[in-house]
């Protein structure tokens, strides 16, 4: 399955799920909230469908989305270990520490989204800084 076919599959699945949401729920949302809901459905379905396609396509090399998922899992695992360490909340280290720059912060959220050239990871920190990390395949 090529990227265009996969994108069409995700779009069709997103709209199919959207039609299952009762109108009473959708009517209570502003236009921007409806758009956000579609993006969230799309983002949730993308890795599920990608995994299903990857399992059935044995000639398919590792994708950028797989590597992005690995990076997200590593960050989430690191944050969880920091949150579980120490005897009390004040003893726990921040998720992100830069001794060189003298900064530290906790990870507030991590999300990923497939784009035409690969996958982007969105990382929002507790100090209100946000980052977009792009994962692209450089060879297949």
Does residue 119 share a domain with residue 65?
A: yes
pTM for this structure? 0.54
What domain range includes position 52? 1-60
User: Which two structure tokens, joined as six digits, stand for 28?
Assistant: 């209570």
User: Which two structure tokens, joined as six digits, stand for 34?
Assistant: 């409806």
Our count of domains for the chain comes to 2
Q: Give the model confidence (pLDDT) of 105-123 as tens digits.
A: 999 999 988 887 889 999 9
Does residue 85 share a domain with residue 95?
A: yes
Distance of CA 91 to the CA centre of its chain: 29
Does residue 37 share a domain with residue 78?
A: no
58 has a pLDDT exceeding 60: no
Residue 61 has what DSSP assignment? P
The answer to whether 96 and 106 are in contact (CB under 8 A) is: yes
Q: Give the model confidence (pLDDT) of 4-44 as tens digits.
A: 778 888 888 888 888 888 888 888 888 888 888 888 898 88
Choosing from 60, 79, 103, the residue where a domain stops is 60
Q: Which residues of 89-115 are buried (b: 16+ CB within 10 A; e: fewer)?
A: eeeeebbbeeeeeeeebebeebebebe
């Amino acid at each position: 399955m090529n990227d265009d076919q996969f994108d069409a599959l995700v779009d069709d699945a997103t709209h199919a799920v959207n039609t299952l949401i009762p109108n009473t729920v959708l009517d209570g949302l502003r236009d921007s909230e409806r758009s956000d809901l579609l993006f969230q459905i799309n983002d949730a379905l993308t890795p599920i469908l990608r995994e299903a396609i990857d399992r059935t396509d044995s000639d398919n090399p590792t994708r950028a989305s797989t590597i992005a998922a690995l990076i997200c899992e590593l960050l989430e695992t690191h944050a969880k270990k920091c949150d579980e360490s120490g005897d009390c909340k004040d003893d726990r280290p921040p998720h992100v520490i830069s001794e060189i720059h003298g900064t530290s912060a906790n990870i507030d959220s991590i999300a990923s989204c497939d784009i035409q050239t690969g996958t982007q990871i969105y990382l929002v920190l507790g100090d209100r800084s946000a980052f977009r990390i792009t994962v692209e395949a450089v060879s297949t």
